[in-house]
Chains A and B, each alone.
Chain A
């Protein structure tokens, strides 16, 4: 079954510094990979996805993520963090060859310090 690991509970970063949120995945086939963000008292919002093609995908709000097949990773990055980026970030994976179920990681709390 597909699964995602987000090893860090919380990521603290100073405003203006680069932000990285780590994600590794496990699937039996080829992965579809996603990042979602959850702001307080709001539902999850789609940020970006990797299906195939270029390993570097760009998404909403200046975020990007890099697919690394050999390391089975899909880390989320932003060159310069904003205070408004403080939120809970979820990585998710779906197995292209398996069921359509989307498996989410436990989430990472990002705190951007002014």
Chain B
């Protein structure tokens, strides 16, 4: 089966610029996750969608981060404006359902903010 697709693979921007990441989950997976992985740390959940609804966005910095999954399939994560501390790998994952224990991860987008 096709895996979780993410683009771009790498992105370099200057602080205060905007950036967007795209994710296409595995077909049929209702739950989609965005994680932030800072170098030397484990992934941290930013937002979780169930179909096109938000289940958990308690750790999303809403003053600068936004995400949508309008048709319940692919998703976009945006940062506006970016800060230096946003430099990280942004991972998208999907699972069959919200309590399904097996997450499938994409390769991630590595963001460098200069």
Could you tell me which residues of chain A, from 7 to 62, have a CB within 8 Å of some CB in chain B? Answer: 32, 34, 36, 41-46, 49, 51
Q: Is the CB of A43 within 8 A of B102?
A: no
Interface residues on chain A, number (Cβ under 8 Å) = 24
Find chain A residues with CB under 8 A from B4 CB: 43
Q: A interface, by DSSP: helix, strand, loop or mixed? A: strand
Q: Is the CB of A104 within 8 A of B42?
A: yes
Q: Is the CB of B43 within 8 A of A44?
A: yes
Range of interface residues on B (Cβ < 8 Å): 20 to 34
Q: Which residue of A lies closest to B3 (CB)?
A: A43
Complex: how many Å from CA A49 to CA B101?
8
Q: Is the CB of A49 within 8 A of B102?
A: yes
Q: Which residue of B lies closest to A99 (CB)?
A: B56
Q: B96 on the interface (CB 8 Å rule)?
A: no
Q: Is the CB of B45 within 8 A of A34?
A: no
Q: Is the CB of A107 within 8 A of B42?
A: yes
Whole-angstrom distance between the Cβ of A95 and the nearest chain B Cβ: 12
Complex: how many Å from CA A103 to CA B44?
7
Find chain A residues with CB under 8 A from B102 CB: 46, 49
Q: Chain A: residues with CB nearer than 8 A to chain B?
A: 4, 32, 34, 36, 41-46, 49, 51, 90, 92, 94, 99-107
